Amino acid sequence: CPQPGVNISSDEEVNLADWKFSQSIVMDGNFKAKHMKPKNPDEELWLMDGRGYMVTSGMYKQYLANSPNPIERSDCSNHRAVNQTNAQRNQLAATGIGGCACVRHGCFIPHSMVDFQKGEQQVNMDYALVHAVRHGMNPWQHVITFYDINYQYSKNLARWLKGNNFVSLPDGLQIQPGIGLWHVHGHKAECFSRYAPNFIPGAGRVDGEIMETLWSSLNVVSPLAWGMATPHQQELLDFQMNDSNFLKMVQMSLVLQKKLRAAQKGLALVKESFMELDNGVPSELRQKWVEEIMALANRILDPKAMDIFEVQLKKAPTSKSIEIDLISRQGEYGCPHGSVTWLTKALKLEEAQLVFALDSRTMTETYKLSMICCHERLQSHINGLMECAEKYLGGSLDDILQNASQVPDQPDNWYDTDNPSLIPSSEGVEFVVLPLPSYLGKHHFQRFGVGGIVEQELQLRQGQANDTLHELWLALADKAVIFRTEVRHATNYNRNTRAWGKVASTEAIVQRHAGIYHQCRKQMITLGAGPDVLSQYQELHDTELRVSTAIADPNARGHRDDTLAWFWTMDVPQDTAINNWMSEFYHVHWLREKALRDRWDEEVQLLTCETEWTQRFFSSRVDFWSGRSAAAAATNNAGLVCYSARQCQMYQQLKSIC
């Protein structure tokens, strides 16, 4: 790691604020390293208190006694590190330990390991982080921290340390919070783009989870120290962590060389991939996207700036969400209680009628009994619906129903005329007229003083259309996957037959949802939907229900400028000037590809610098032990002279490997 005065000469004119000199720190807790309460704490004798990796005991206790630690709950995911920070354990002086290590090399940072009195509280980790950033660092250097609860921890860090009389961060220090790749997937979706190392400039290619591997080796000995005296336990942990760092140091040169070769290969691959994608992007779009990346300079103060790496789509409201909203505002429509639930049930029965009309044409002998049972259940639900309708229309319901047309009144293009099995029959419960305003006429409901039901049905119809279009997307996506994975790879007659059979089954589902949507849109027109609604819910055509090559093979060449059918853009906000999914897809894909290329490029540059810094570190240790040897010789300390000479020889050998 870059350490001014150690492997970076103070005489050099370097900009320590440059990303190459950033320090990457990982923070974590370990609940396997418990410690029992000592029987005679006053008789304990310290030999190396605070001179290793564990912090000085007395100062740490004084800090804890005078630093508040408010109780909080996680606002992202149910993480134990946040939600169990105040969990107490009887007979335990420490429930575990926590601290900091180098992200890139996996070395424990001296004097940055603390023990937990209850759980992994922020007050404990604050103390560890403050001492970690003050070890071998210059305030001009930037810091990148990786912590599994950084979404919560980073919000409070500056506020909690402000005014603390025991610890403080260097003035002007900039800390970029991050979350390791293994932990970030357990958070909210937006945490990935805001905290994953993939999108943090200067992070290189790291996963931010190296602390987990360090705990695994430490946990071999930590359970043995549960019952030890406090000084003995901490010195044992210090010895184990020092040994871990020593093993990393003697292998550092070889590991860096191996990583550099792998990074150079990785960079070559992603450069080629990004170039292929970038060549197809119009220059004006590229300039706009580059400007978005430049705006990420504000990411430390506002993590939401990183949301450009996610697809920005506003989800259309589902029928469930609209139903909940209408129930909460039912008094505004002047309708009897329960009208929204009644309408929702009616729309579900309408869908069942349409599906039953199709399925009844595909009956086999074994399927016939099941269809009869479905017929009876559907009739029973419709009877219940009619009984509830009488409280809205009174005794006039029978007369109104006689004048209503049959349903469903479908045009020929809502089903596949080439497939006779999909043509509905003309008799049965599936053609019973439902007592809805869109079928009976909205004037009847207005005449009986329940005209609000008309507006409620129109809103529920929009939710029904959204749900149906969503199912249509899924069916078309399934069809595309079948083409890509089965039809294209069918090598014989049997596989080809099975593949096309799956295509036919999926196509039947597509036509079913298309029929439901067509009927839904037809009823919205009857209810008096305005141009703004009908422009959003357009008419479906057969050509829009086909799976194009660009969808079946998203990586096919020559399809960057293709646009999708209107219903693929239903969830895009209306103020984006008819932006489409393909544009948003390439936008996010381009940003992520560029971030991937940049991280690999940073990795190559960092590994090149780290090789030089490692060599300089070994040189500084040679100079240090040479000075100690000369000082020992002047005092005739033969033992120290021999030890210093051995250390010089070891670091000379390590330097020669670089």
Under 8 Å between Cβ of 214 and 106:
yes
CA-to-CA distance for 172 and 177, rounded, in angstroms? Answer: 16
CA-to-CA distance for 373 and 369, rounded, in angstroms? Answer: 6
Q: SS3 for 339?
A: helix
Enumerate the β-bridge partners of residue 101: 26, 108
Under 8 Å between Cβ of 225 and 233:
yes
| DSSP designation for 191 | H
| DSSP designation for 38 | P
Quote the pLDDT of residue 447: 79
350's CB contacts (< 8 A; 6+ apart) are 407, 408, 434, 436, 519
CA-to-CA distance for 175 and 191, rounded, in angstroms? Answer: 17
CB burial readout 381-395, b (16+ within 10 A) else e = bbeebbebbeebbee
Quote the pLDDT of residue 80: 53
The domain limits of the chain are: 19-250, 253-306+578-658, 319-555
Q: Which stretches in the chain have pLDDT values below 50?
A: 78, 406-426, 548-564, 569, 571-579
Find, among 195, 204, 131, 207, the residue nearest to 169 by Cα.
131
- Whole-model pTM: value is 0.61
Under 8 Å between Cβ of 188 and 77:
yes
Quote the pLDDT of residue 308: 53
Q: SS3 for 441?
A: coil
CA-to-CA distance for 108 and 100, rounded, in angstroms? Answer: 6
CA-to-CA distance for 245 and 239, rounded, in angstroms? Answer: 10
Quote the pLDDT of residue 539: 86
How many Å separate Cα 202 from the centre of its chain?
Answer: 21
Quote the pLDDT of residue 257: 92
Quote the pLDDT of residue 298: 57
